[in-house]
Structure formats: structure tokens, C-alpha cells
Amino acid sequence: MPRSVVFATVGGPEVLTVRPAELPEPGPGELRLRVAAIGLNRAEALFRAGLYLEQPKLPSTLGYEASGTVEAVGEGVTGFAPGDRVDVVPAFSQTDYGTYGTHVLVPASAVVHHLAGLTPAEGAAVWMPYLTAYGALAEDGHLRPGDFVLITAAASGVGLAAIRTARRLGAVPIATTRTAAKRQRLLDAGAAHVVVTGEEDLVASVLDATGGRGVRTVFDPVAGPGVLDLARTVTPGGRLIVYGRLDPTDTPLPGQDTFVSVLSRFYSMHEVTHDAERLRRAHAFVTAGLADGSFVPVIDRVFEGLDTVVEAHRYLEAGAQVGKIVLTVTD
């Protein structure tokens, strides 16, 4: 019997429940998938808690990423057929679709063919991180070979993808982490330098690592008052990119006290995934990186079965992972 993860009220992980569901029929432009694995993201925890950019329409399901098999094809869909192995990319609103279930509907525009050599768990773990990093660092050509880039909260799935994306572009990634426990993992992932922010002065450490020049780009998911220190690491004409709000307090405008020339912007991965041509370029970039070994899916932990979803979300919110958390569907 099909099952789906839903929540009837916003709150902590405990609001998630697994319920029987009707087998959905795809409408025009849609596919029905039999899900094998689901990639978990911080955005889903925020959505569940009522703290995301969009408010859920209760009762609601959730989820941006999955890997599975096409079961049915809606009217007007081309390029996919029942039996195809595919992955879902985050190219829709969670108020319209979700991937937390055994059988789900998704727009065909948010589906790519599964790459040979990847497991379902890896297919569910690769797209959000690398599409996010591609759009911020590679799409407009701002980050150049030889440039330094500062990647904060770098042990996340997106942070690790950003390290490898910077390396593939010829840039020099500097990673931050709160504790020394993750330092070696970040170095192994390709970081040229690691700043342990709980033990080291961020600005002094970055300037020392760059020979006093500073970085051309900062890639930050935290926001909040900490952006003022981040801006002090940016060379004139550089860019401070904020792609999340792990710190929910107000984010000040860097440079207003000194008028330092730093371009600050908020960035959403949807800038890429909601634009067909940008998504085509991003897919080509990520696929090429996976093919030549520059990119690899990094999975921290796999939870087995939809019934472990509450435990998986608690682990997600603990913030101890290095890489992605994946939930396999064993129903």
C-alpha cells in the first residue's frame, strides 16, 4: 500500500507521521515515481517548523529530493517512460509537491535520468548540494581560477559540494567549521585551509591564509550579524553570497559603516532550478564533474524506512553530520 509522510501542524520532528495514501495519478506534465531513496535537507526541517520562505498548506507533505523509478507518465510528458530510473531535483515548491513517500507525483521538469554507477541513495544526495554550489559559484563566471573563496558551515552537503566546485573551477577554497572535529574531513574534501571558528579569529585567519589579499567570494548559509565579520575578509570588488538563514536574527548590510566595496546578495538555488536553460547548464556541469571524479556524493548517514523519518529529522537538526542524510524507502 502507498504511504506518505505528512504533518498536520507545524513543529518539531515529532509532528511528522506516516500514513496510508491513495496511489496518485499523474496529471499533465507530471510523473508518478516509486521512490527508493530520499535526500533530506535543512529546508524541509524549516518548512515542517513553519520557518521556511513558504508556509505549508496543512496537512502537508514535504521533500525536495528523491531517487526512484517512473511508474506512470502524464499527458504531454516526453523523454521518460515507465521503468526509467530517475532522480528528482529541487525545481518546485513544497506547497505543491513532496518526495517523502513510497509513491509520489513530481513535475517532469524536476526529473533527470539517474546516472549509471550511482546508487539510489547517491542519486538522492547529489543534486541539491551541487546545483546550489553551481548556481552561486559557477553560473555567472564571477569566481575565477586562482581566486580564494570562503565557504562557511562547510561540512554540510552544500558546503562540501562548494569545496569541490571551487576546486573544479581552479579556485582555492577556505572552509570554516565550529569545532576541530571536522577539520580533517574538510581537508580531505579539498579545502586548502580550514578555520575553526570556535578557536581561531576568523578575519585574521582568512587574511593570513590569503597573504593579506582576502577572498573574492564568501558563500554563507548562516546570515545574521556574523556577515559583518565575513565582509571584512572580502577583497574590494568581491562578493558576499548568503544562501540560507541558519541564524534567524536580522542580517545587517555589510559595508554601511566603512563603505567597503563588497557586493552582498541573497541567493536561492531556485534561481537555477526554476530556469530551464540554467538547469540544463547546471546538469551538464554536475554530470561532467561526476563523470571525471571531481564530484562525489557524500553521505553521512542512511536511515532505513519511512518509519525512521522522525529520528532522521532529529539527526538533521542536531547538525553533527558531514555530508548528506538519506532516508531509504523499504516499504
- What is the CATH superfamily name and number for domain 133-268? NAD(P)-binding Rossmann-like Domain (3.40.50.720)
At 299, give phi and psi (nearest 5°).
-110, 125
Write out the chain's pLDDT in tens, 331 residues. 899 999 999 999 999 999 999 999 999 999 999 999 999 999 999 999 999 989 999 999 999 999 999 999 999 999 999 999 999 999 999 999 999 999 999 999 999 999 999 999 999 999 999 999 999 999 988 999 999 999 999 999 999 999 999 999 999 999 999 999 999 999 999 999 999 999 999 999 999 999 999 999 999 999 899 999 999 999 988 999 999 888 888 888 776 665 556 778 899 999 999 999 999 999 999 999 999 999 999 999 999 999 999 999 999 999 889 999 999 998 7
- What is the CATH superfamily name and number for domain 3-126+297-328? Medium-chain alcohol dehydrogenases, catalytic domain (3.90.180.10)
Report the C-alpha gap between 185 and 180 in whole angstroms: 10
User: In Å, what is the CA distance from 120 to each residue of 65, 92, 329?
Assistant: 11, 21, 10
Nearest alpha carbon to residue 79 among 29, 34, 118: 29
Backbone torsion region of residue 280, taken as left when φ is above 0, otherwise alpha when ψ lies between -120 and 50, otherwise beta: alpha
Could you tell me the residue ranges of all domains in the chain? 3-126+297-328, 133-268
Does the CA dihedral 307-299-314-51 come out positive or negative? negative
> ∠ CA 58-309-302 to the nearest 5 degrees?
145
Does the CA dihedral 293-299-302-307 come out positive or negative? negative
